[in-house]
């Protein structure tokens, strides 16, 4: 079958050819006309026919030069059409996460309905709001809904000279109070929702540390408290006391919120005091739960209840916990999803085609065994290139030393030499004013690199950590040493790496058995 949407002549850069064909296929899957696809194909083929560089490395000036190389053969309208088609291609690459920003973003002649229509006093505000609105489009929100978000954010930020990140909850409350006489109560709720969504996006991206839009204006969002009224108020007090103890000893927000949900679910309709609930009642509730939940979810519920009752015993509210060890389901031992040597080589080879920052990120993850959240928090001052040591903040806000390879140190040195900004973060964005590179972007970079490397399964940052640990165990490292490197408080957590990889077992068998 004639694949009319594919490039007919080989391009100098095979990666360019691959991505263009992928883009053209996506248009075909959207049921675009054959004539349109052939037009797009011919233009992209002619533009990239003499380009040896990777499409992600081309700048706005490069593209302008490519389009106007034979300007005498093209009128102004033709040039605009060509620019539009190229812009659509680059927008596709941005949407897929292959690059962070289109090189012709500012030169587009088409008007995107999701972008602000009037300039704001602060350029940074305008850029981040447009990025947020684009994320709504990518999430398949309706055009009408996005335009409503756009209109409100334009209204709220139109007179603000200061950065969005400096806006406080008091500023927002004051602004809403000034305008509330012109709006209905429901309209105010909707506008608060719009603003909260915008700041949640900024929080997820790592642009801010805290959302200024609080769910309760009168007090802070105390995620460690049960806010849903329980039938027994004493139960609620003890649960909140327990959750506060987790918060004080630096349990993660994710864990505390999960335990709060479990305890809330268990106690919400119980009139009896927590001290009076029998083991049989708890077991019956868990048995009903098992019919609806997976084994690992049930295990989490049991862990939450066990931890709560252990706290009650330690505090003297109970003499003995009603939880039984035999209730814990027998789960299969987890097998770490690590990369073998061939897969690591593929990823490293692909990283050489990437931005230097991305290559350094991959090398640091492979050779240090860090969690992605630890890498996100790293500052330049935390890294000692001479001794190849970095100080990271792990779970429970515990600080530990990690080590990295000579190759990683050399790449880091090269990367830091290219940095002209004063941002303290180790990894930053490359467009506009440098900001700390968010965890979300790191995930996208790693995932895309895995796809481009031709790996059989998805690549995520934690696979590098498993690879690091498995490799050390395979080389004879002791579990205690590995636990220190990984930041495991409990040696049992490290025990999952004790099983040698299959390839190592085969090597040992052949060595001893022939």
User: Helix, strand, or coil here: 162?
Assistant: coil
- Claim to verify: residue 318 and residue 349 sit in the same structural domain: no
As a whole number, mean pLDDT of residues 161-172 equals 87
Please indicate, yes or no, if residue 109 is contained in any of the structural domains. no
Phi, psi of 428 (to 5 degrees): -130, 165
Please indicate, yes or no, if residue 366 is contained in any of the structural domains. yes
Please indicate, yes or no, if residue 433 is contained in any of the structural domains. yes
Please indicate, yes or no, if residue 439 is contained in any of the structural domains. yes
pLDDT of residue 416: 93
- Claim to verify: residue 353 and residue 437 sit in the same structural domain: yes
User: Is the distance from CB of 288 to CB of 269 less than 8 angstroms?
Assistant: no
DSSP letter at 449 equals H
Residues spanned by the domain of 74: 14-95
Question: H or E stretch including 102?
Answer: none
- Claim to verify: residue 316 and residue 421 sit in the same structural domain: no
- Claim to verify: residue 145 and residue 85 sit in the same structural domain: no
Phi, psi of 475 (to 5 degrees): -90, 5
Please indicate, yes or no, if residue 219 is contained in any of the structural domains. no
- Claim to verify: residue 348 and residue 478 sit in the same structural domain: yes
Given 264, 292, 327, the domain boundary residue is 327
- Claim to verify: residue 201 and residue 68 sit in the same structural domain: no
**Total residues found in the chain within this entry:** 514
Please indicate, yes or no, if residue 100 is contained in any of the structural domains. no
State the Cα–Cα distance between residues 346 and 368, nearest whole angstrom. Answer: 19
As a whole number, mean pLDDT of residues 370-390 equals 91
| CATH number of the domain that residue 459 is part of | 1.10.443.10
- Claim to verify: residue 282 and residue 379 sit in the same structural domain: no
- Claim to verify: residue 165 and residue 244 sit in the same structural domain: no
| CATH number of the domain that residue 290 is part of | 1.10.150.130
How sure is the predictor about 87, in pLDDT bands with cuts at 50, 70 and 90? confident
pLDDT of residue 514: 44
Encode 137-174: b = buried (16+ Cβ within 10 Å), e = exposed: beeeeeeeebeebbebbeebbeebeeebbebeeeebee
State the Cα–Cα distance between residues 457 and 14, nearest whole angstrom. Answer: 22
State the Cα–Cα distance between residues 132 and 268, nearest whole angstrom. Answer: 37
Please indicate, yes or no, if residue 334 is contained in any of the structural domains. no
pTM summary value: 0.47
- Claim to verify: residue 412 and residue 461 sit in the same structural domain: yes
How sure is the predictor about 509, in pLDDT bands with cuts at 50, 70 and 90? very low
Lowest mean pLDDT among 177-191, 215-229, 318-332, 372-386: 215-229
- Claim to verify: residue 62 and residue 85 sit in the same structural domain: yes
Which tokens is 438 given?
A: 């968010």
- Claim to verify: residue 481 and residue 350 sit in the same structural domain: yes
- Claim to verify: residue 48 and residue 77 sit in the same structural domain: yes
As a whole number, mean pLDDT of residues 470-489 equals 76
Q: How many domains, the chain?
A: 4
Please indicate, yes or no, if residue 107 is contained in any of the structural domains. no
The CA distances from residue 229 to 216, 221, 269, in Å, are 16, 16, 10
What is the separation of C-alpha 419 from the centre of its chain, rounded to a whole number of angstroms? 23
């Amino acid at each position: 079958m004639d694949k009319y949407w594919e490039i007919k002549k080989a391009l100098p850069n095979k990666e360019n050819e691959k991505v263009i064909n992928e883009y053209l296929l996506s248009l075909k899957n959207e049921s675009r006309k054959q004539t349109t696809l052939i037009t797009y194909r011919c233009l992209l083929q002619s533009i990239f026919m003499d380009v040896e560089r990777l499409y992600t490395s081309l700048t706005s000036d490069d593209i302008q030069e490519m389009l106007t190389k034979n300007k005498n053969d093209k009128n102004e309208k033709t040039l605009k059409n060509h620019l539009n088609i190229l812009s659509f291609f680059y927008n596709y690459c941005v949407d897929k996460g292959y690059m962070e920003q289109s090189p012709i973003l500012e030169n587009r002649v088409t008007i995107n309905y999701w972008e602000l229509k009037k300039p704001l006093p602060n350029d940074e505000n305008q850029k981040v709001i447009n990025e947020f609105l684009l994320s709504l489009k990518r999430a398949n929100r309706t055009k009408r809904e996005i335009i409503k978000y756009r209109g409100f954010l334009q209204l709220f930020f139109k007179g603000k000279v200061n950065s969005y990140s400096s806006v406080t909850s008091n500023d927002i409350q004051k602004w809403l109070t000034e305008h509330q006489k012109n709006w209905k109560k429901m309209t105010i709720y909707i506008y608060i929702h719009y603003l909260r969504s915008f700041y949640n996006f900024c929080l997820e991206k790592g642009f801010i540390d805290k959302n200024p839009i609080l769910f309760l204006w009168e007090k802070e969002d105390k995620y460690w408290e049960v806010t849903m009224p329980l039938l027994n108020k004493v139960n609620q007090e003890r649960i909140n006391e327990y959750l506060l103890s987790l918060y004080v000893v630096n349990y993660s927000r994710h864990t505390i919120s999960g335990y709060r949900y479990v305890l809330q679910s268990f106690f919400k309709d119980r009139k009896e005091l927590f001290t009076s609930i029998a083991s049989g009642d708890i077991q019956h509730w868990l048995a009903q739960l098992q019919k609806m939940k997976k084994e690992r979810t049930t295990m989490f519920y049991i862990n939450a209840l066990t931890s709560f009752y252990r706290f009650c015993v330690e505090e003297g509210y109970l003499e003995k916990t009603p939880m039984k060890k035999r209730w814990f389901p027998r789960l299969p031992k987890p097998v770490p999803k690590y990369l073998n040597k061939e897969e690591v080589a593929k990823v490293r080879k692909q990283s050489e085609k990437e931005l230097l920052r991305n290559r350094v990120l991959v090398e640091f993850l492979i050779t240090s065994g860090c969690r992605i959240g630890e890498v996100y928090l790293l500052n330049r001052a935390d890294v000692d290139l001479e001794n190849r040591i970095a100080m990271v903040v792990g779970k429970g806000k515990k600080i530990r030393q990690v080590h990295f390879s000579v190759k990683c140190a050399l790449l880091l040195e090269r990367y830091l030499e290219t940095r002209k900004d004063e941002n303290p973060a180790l990894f930053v964005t490359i467009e506009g004013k440098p900001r700390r590179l968010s965890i979300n972007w790191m995930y996208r970079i790693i995932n895309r690199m895995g796809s481009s490397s031709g790996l059989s399964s998805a690549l995520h940052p934690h696979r590098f950590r498993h690879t690091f640990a498995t490799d050390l165990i395979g080389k004879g490292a002791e579990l205690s040493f590995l636990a220190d490197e990984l930041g495991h408080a409990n040696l049992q957590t490290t025990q999952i790496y004790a099983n040698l990889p299959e390839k190592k077992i085969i090597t040992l068998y052949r060595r001893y058995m022939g």
